[in-house]
Amino acid sequence: MDPGLVAQHLLNGLMLGVVYALVAVGFTLFFGVLDVIQFSHGDVVMFGAFTALAAVIGLGAAGVTSDPILLMGALIAAIVVTALLGAFVARMLVLPLAKSPPLHVLLITLMAGTALREAVRVFYPQGSNPKPFPRLLPDGAVELGTLTLRYDVLILLAVGIVAIVAVHLLLTRTRIGLAVRAVAQDAETASVLGIPFRTTVLATFALGSALGALAGVVNGLYYSEVTFSLGLTLGAIGFAAAVIGGLGNVGGAIVGGFVFAGLQTIGAVALPFASAYKDVFAFAAVIVLVAWRPAGLLAEPSAERV
């Protein structure tokens, strides 16, 4: 096979992996602090993308024409609004049910995601139709034989990797990161040691949702389009990636995102006659992986709480 073509597939897989890893980290953060699955997370990602689009349109209507300013405004609006939305979901829906059976949290977050998705479809102008996302990054590309290095893809890839590294440093090198890890390890002991449980949970949900917003914006810029059903796809893939890596393990979620993107890429290359079924191939491979390693590829040994 042409090395340039292989490199092109690798670049595309890395780009998808960054998006999936950002979504998966949110799922694993939520599970880590409360042992719950926040099934509205995919729709929160979608809401972040639409918030960014609305911000671009609003700034454009106000006379702003600079692409960097439009992009910065879109990112800030999406991250802030979605972080607040994530904290709201935690405060009003998840925390009140913290001691309830996990099925209750699963159901209420699933319904919340459906309500959010339908609200965008109904109240956003022509929300049922795909929306073009403005191209706010530099055009152009470098041609290296059969390998095409688009400037916008390289920028998005760099932004995603920087965000992933920043989250890792936040969780391992800061006080809030220490608090999150302590609550995830043992919430009761963390509370006894003076770590504010509720505040830590709200901050964790805000962080995970903000990462989801970034994933939604990156996805919109990459595909130049957003749809109200975006959260269904990214939510399913992000959750699958978190499970592959091991729920509750941030590093595992990142690895899981790239593994799922790799499976999609392999499916598209190995099945050129049916590349539309690459998702089928990827999810089938996930089923095999989960059957082989139910706890995930990088699952941490669980400690018994007494």
Q: What is the DSSP letter of 92?
A: I
Tell me the domain boundaries of the chain: 3-292
**50 within 8 A of 218, measured Cβ to Cβ:** no
Residues 113-118 have a mean pLDDT of: 95
Cα separation, 261 vs 255, whole angstroms: 10
Residues 212-239 have a mean pLDDT of: 95
Strand partners, 143: 148
Residues 182-188 have a mean pLDDT of: 86
Residues 139-148 have a mean pLDDT of: 83
Q: Which amino acid is at 281?
A: F
**157 within 8 A of 14, measured Cβ to Cβ:** yes
Architecture in CATH of 3-292: Orthogonal Bundle (1.10)
Residues 48-74 have a mean pLDDT of: 95
pLDDT in the model for residue 225: 95
User: Which of 119-128, 131-140, 273-282 has the weakest average pLDDT?
Assistant: 273-282
Residue 6 pLDDT level (bands cut at 50, 70, 90): confident
In this predicted structure, the answer to whether residue 160 has a pLDDT above a threshold of 90 is yes
In this predicted structure, the answer to whether residue 201 has a pLDDT above a threshold of 60 is yes
Number of H helices, E strands in the chain: 11, 4
Largest CA distance in the chain: 61
* Beta-carbon contacts of residue 142 (< 8 Å; ≥ 6 apart): 148, 149, 151
In this predicted structure, the answer to whether residue 134 has a pLDDT above a threshold of 60 is yes
Q: Is the dihedral of CA 206, 39, 46, 181 positive or negative?
A: positive
Residue 275 pLDDT level (bands cut at 50, 70, 90): low
In this predicted structure, the answer to whether residue 52 has a pLDDT above a threshold of 50 is yes
Condensed to tens digits (0 to 9), the pLDDT of residues 296-305 reads 887 664 444 3
Q: Phi/psi at 144 (nearest 5 deg)?
A: -120, 85
pLDDT in the model for residue 305: 39
Q: What is the DSSP letter of 148?
A: E
Cα separation, 152 vs 168, whole angstroms: 24
pLDDT in the model for residue 304: 41
Cα separation, 237 vs 271, whole angstroms: 20
Cα separation, 173 vs 136, whole angstroms: 33
Q: What is the DSSP letter of 295?
A: T
Q: What is the DSSP letter of 100?
A: S
In terms of C-beta distances under 8 Å and separation of at least 24 residues, what long-range contacts does 185-190 make, across chains too? 185/303, 186/305, 187/33, 188/305
H or E stretch covering 177: helix 175-185
CA Rg, the chain, in Å?
19
Q: Is the dihedral of CA 285, 102, 295, 216 positive or negative?
A: positive
Instruction: Say what the pTM is.
Output: 0.92
**214 within 8 A of 78, measured Cβ to Cβ:** yes
pLDDT in the model for residue 278: 81
Condensed to tens digits (0 to 9), the pLDDT of residues 12-45 reads 899 999 999 999 999 999 998 888 889 999 999 9
